[in-house]
Each structure stands twice: as C-alpha cells, then as structure tokens.
Amino acid sequence: MNGLRNSIKGRLFIWIFSVTALFLVAAGFAIYQEAKAIVCGTIDMTLHSKAQVITGLLHAENGAIELELQEIVSGDYSIPRSGHYFKVIMDGTLLAASPSLVDSSFDLTGGAAGEHVSKTAETVFTSIGPGDEPVRVLKYDIRAYERTFGIFVAESLDDSLDMMRKFRRFLLIVIPSGILIVSFMALWIVRRSLEPIALFAGRIGAITHKTLDERLDSGTETAELAGLADSFNDLLDRLQKVFESEKRLIADASHELKTPVAVIKLHCDVLLLQERTPEEYVNALREIRSVTVGIDTLVKDLLLLSRLDSGVLSSSEFEAVSLNGCIRKSAAMVQPLAEQRSIRLNLAFGDDISINGNAENLVEVFLNILENGIKYNKDHGEVDVSTSLNGTDAVIVISDTGPGIAGRDQERIFDRFYRADSSRNTDGTGLGLSIARTIIDAHGGSITLFSEPGRGSSFTITLRSL
C-alpha cells in the first residue's frame, strides 16, 4: 500500500478507484431508494383510486346504508387470500368486506409498520395480510349520511418486494462489476499515460559521461515532458561545459607541469652522472629551486581556479568592500617588484566606491593586472591606475607603458594557460588573466583590453557599485 502511495501510478489508481467506487455505490443506493419510492407510490395511488371507487358505491336506501357489493366483489376481491382486500367499517361495526379476506374479522390494522399520514383523511401503512404476506393498507375516514365510515383498502406487497429484491440483487452484481471494470480501465489508462515518463527516464539513463553531448529531442516528447526535456538539456549543457573545462584544465595542468618536472629530473640526472664540486651542487639546487617556485605558483593558481570553478564565489556571501582599499592593498604587494625595475605606480583615486563583493578575490584581480603591467613593462616605465563612477558602475582603468599586446593575442590572453610568444621568457603561468576574468564575472562585472602594440596596454574593469 505504501508502495502504491509513493508512485504517481499508484496515487492516480487509488484516486480513480475511490472516486468511482464512491460514486457508483452512492448512485446505486439513490437509484434503489428512488425505485422503492416509485413502487410504493404506484401502489398507494392504486389504493387511493380503489378507496374512491368504494366510497362512490356507498349509498342510503330507505334510511339504511348500503354498499353495492356486486360491482366490486368479482375478480381478485372474490378469490381468498388473493392479495387484494377491502373492508368498510361504519360507526365502528363492519359494513362490508371483500371475500378475499376470508375471515371478515381480520384486522387489517394489525402489525402496522411505517405509518404514513397524508394531508387528506387517508392513512397509509404496511401491515400483515390474511395470507401472512406483507400488505400495503390505505385507510380512508369519511363522514357521509351522518355516519362515520372507515374504508380500508389493501394490496399484497409480495410482488413488489420480490421485484425490489431482484433489483437489489441486480445492483449488487452490477455495481461491484462496474467498480472492477472501471478500476482495470483506470489501471490501463494510468499505465499508458505514464509510459512516456518511463521511456524518458530510459533515455536519460542512457546518457553517461562519455555521451554528454547527446540531447533529448523535446519535439518528440509529450507536451508535459517537452519542458522537462528542455530543462534537462540545459542542465546537460551546463554540466558538459564544466566537465569539458575540468578535462581541459587537467590536460593543461599536466602539460604545464610536465616541462618543469622534466627540467628538475634532467638537472638531477646530470648532477648524478659524476662527482660534482660543492659549488656545482649549490648552483644546481638554485636552478631546481627556481623551477619549483614556478611549480608552486602554478599549483596555487590551479587550486584557485578550481575553487572558483566549483562556485566558491557566491553572491550570497558578498559584503561591502572598499574599492580604493583593494587597489591600495594590491599596489602595496607589487611595489617592491616595481621598485626593482624602477617602474612608477601612479594611483589616481576618485571618491571611494563601495562594491558588493569578496575583498580577497578583488585584491587578486588587481594584483594580477598590476603585476603584468610591471612584469611586461620596460625598465623606468609607468603603470597608471584610475577609478571613477559611471552611473552605478565603478570603472577602474589600469594602463602601462609596456610593449602592448598583438592583435592576434588580444582575443586569447584571457584563455587559460595562454601566453603570447613574446612573453615566454618572463615568469608566469598563463592563468593570471583568466583568474581575474572568472572573479570579475562572478561579481557581475566585465573586463576589456585596449592595446596598441608598442604603445602599452590598458585594461578597463567595470564593477557594479553598491
């Protein structure tokens, strides 16, 4: 039963079964009651007509009251216990009775049940007839010829009760059969209607990580499932994107790590070929250390990227951040590098702007761009930073006097691991700008580049202010 309730099929079946059963039982009961009322009504009407006929036959002759019996004591009234009876009481004494009563003293009022009083002087009730059969009796009280008459007319209920019994038996067979038939039909309809869901589930089940590019055809699905198919396809699009970017990240990461690891191994192999002087060992260790510094930066960048990809930056955890404060912090971090190369950092701040974001990550963005502006700059060059408010947008422009970026590289520098050929001799992982863009995207902002080769680069970052 619990299993039935837990499935749509089961629930639909229980509902259809309960409603149909309730309806058929109620309808059967109402039909039976109505039929019973019609049968009783018909008998009562017949009895009423007969009482009227008998009343019409009463007349006074020479001061004596008579009933013209010969008019009615033929047929059913003349056959003993025929089921059709009458009796006329005048002033408390029997005036006439139908021969069918056999014993005229038979009390038609005995064992009365379910008495019913009409608006007229008629009383209708059920009693036991001379043949021990249930009879319907109508008693009509009138005053005529200055006397009081009680006219009793009765009719056996045997045939009617028999008919009702047959009708009840018929209903008791037809209603449960109807419930059974409707239940089977409901089961069949429910099964047929839910078949598309099972097929749909089958198609979804067939999609694995190897067939992530497969899509459900919403055009061939039923109207109810077409929307679900579209949503599922959207989900697959998003999953495929993440899955592929993860795959690419792993492939790129292993590719990028291969070279420095090979370099370390080579240094070790060369060192081990023969006995070395302490000076040679120290030099080799220095080389190895500088390579591991690169690996360390790469691993840190990769970790940050994978954390960003997994959605660690959620706007629900953002808070009000001072834009000038973030830039100042980044500038302070790159200051020693700038001084090494005699590069001037010019910060031109407008009024401080509040950003809804993550301070640590925003510092990372400015740090990466400032570091590039210094790293790729010429000695004695300059890096300018300015902030301004454009409507509700905070606009940050970071320009440098470096070599600029060639047109073909401009589109790709935000790609993971992309490094322009001219930068290969400079330390870097090719991840700084893609990390910056991922963080800016998560803040609902944008980053654009304007660069003229030979005349420096200018990055414009737009972030929504609070």
370 in contact with ligand ADP (CB under 6 A): no
Give the bridge partners for 385, in sequence order: 347, 398
Report, in Å, the least distance between residue 327 CB and ligand ADP: 16
CA distance 434 to 436: 5
Instruction: For the CB of residue 311, give the shortest distance to ligand ADP in the complex, in Å.
Output: 21
By the 10 Å C-beta count (0-12 exposed, 13-18 middle, 19+ buried), 278 is classed as exposed
Residue 197 or 420 having the CB closest to ligand ADP:
420
Among the residue ranges 45-53, 186-194, 266-274, 370-378, the one whose residues contact ligand ADP (CB under 6 A): 370-378
* Shortest Å, Cβ 419 to ligand ADP: 3
Closest approach of Cβ 220 to ligand ADP, in Å?
Answer: 45
Q: Toward ligand ADP, which CB reaches closer, 363 or 433?
A: 433
Residue with tokens 């990227």: 305
DSSP 82-124: -SEEEEEEETTEEEEE-GGGSSTT--TTTT-EEEEE-SSSEEE
Stretch that binds ligand ADP, among 185-193, 248-256, 337-345, 367-375 (CB under 6 A): 367-375
In the complex, what is the shortest distance from the CB of residue 431 to ligand ADP, in angstroms, rounded to a whole number? 6
- Binding flag, residue 302, ligand ADP (CB under 6 A): no
Tokens for 67?
Answer: 């009933």
Q: Which of 200, 232, 318, 376 binds ligand ADP (CB under 6 A)?
A: 376
Among 155, 221, 364, 400, binds ligand ADP (CB under 6 A): 400
Taking CB under 6 A as the rule, does residue 457 contact ligand ADP? yes
457: helix, strand or coil: strand
> Which one of 368, 387, 401, 438 is in contact with ligand ADP (CB under 6 A)?
368
Quick one: 166 or 455, whose CB is closer to ligand ADP? 455
Of 330, 372, 401, 438, the one binding ligand ADP (CB under 6 A) is 372
Looking from the CA of 383 toward its CB, the CA atoms found within 13 Å total 28
60: Cβ contacts below 8 Å, ≥ 6 apart = 66, 145
Residue 349 · residue 395 · CB < 8 Å = no
Q: Which is nearer to ligand ADP, 106 or 450 (CB)?
A: 450
Ramachandran category for residue 426: left, alpha or beta (phi over 0 → left; psi -120 to 50 → alpha)? beta
- Coil, strand, or helix at residue 296? helix
- Minimum CB–partner distance for residue 329 and ligand ADP (Å): 18
∠ CA 190-193-199, nearest 5°, is 120
Query: Which helix H or strand E contains 247, and what residues bound it?
Result: helix 223-273
Shortest CB 368 distance to ligand ADP, Å: 6
Residues 403-442: x where in contact with ligand ADP by CB under 6 A, - otherwise, as a string: x-x-------x----xxx--x----xxxxxxx--------
Cβ distance 225 to 196 under 8 Å? yes
Query: Which residue number, 127 or 401, has a Cβ lying nearer to ligand ADP?
Result: 401
Within 134-193, the residues that bind ligand ADP by CB under 6 A are none
Residue 253 sits at φ, ψ, to 5 deg, of -60, -45
What is the size of the binding site for ligand ADP (CB under 6 A)? Answer: 21
Q: How far apart are CA 123 and CA 140, in angstroms?
A: 7
Select 156 or 429, whichever has its Cβ closest to ligand ADP: 429
* One of 373, 387, 440, 447 touching ligand ADP (CB under 6 A): 373
User: Where does 382-429 show beta strands of DSSP type E?
Assistant: 382-390, 393-400
Segment near ligand ADP (CB under 6 A); pick from 256-264, 335-343, 345-353, 365-373: 365-373
Q: 296-303 long-range CB contacts below 8 Å, 24 or more apart?
A: 297/427, 297/429, 298/253, 298/256, 298/257, 298/260, 298/429, 298/431, 301/429, 301/431, 301/432, 301/435, 302/249, 302/253, 302/431
Stretch 231-250: interaction string toward ligand ADP, x if CB under 6 A: --------------------
Q: Under the rule (CB under 6 A), what is the footprint of ligand ADP? A: 368, 372-373, 376, 400, 402-403, 405, 413, 418-420, 423, 428-434, 457
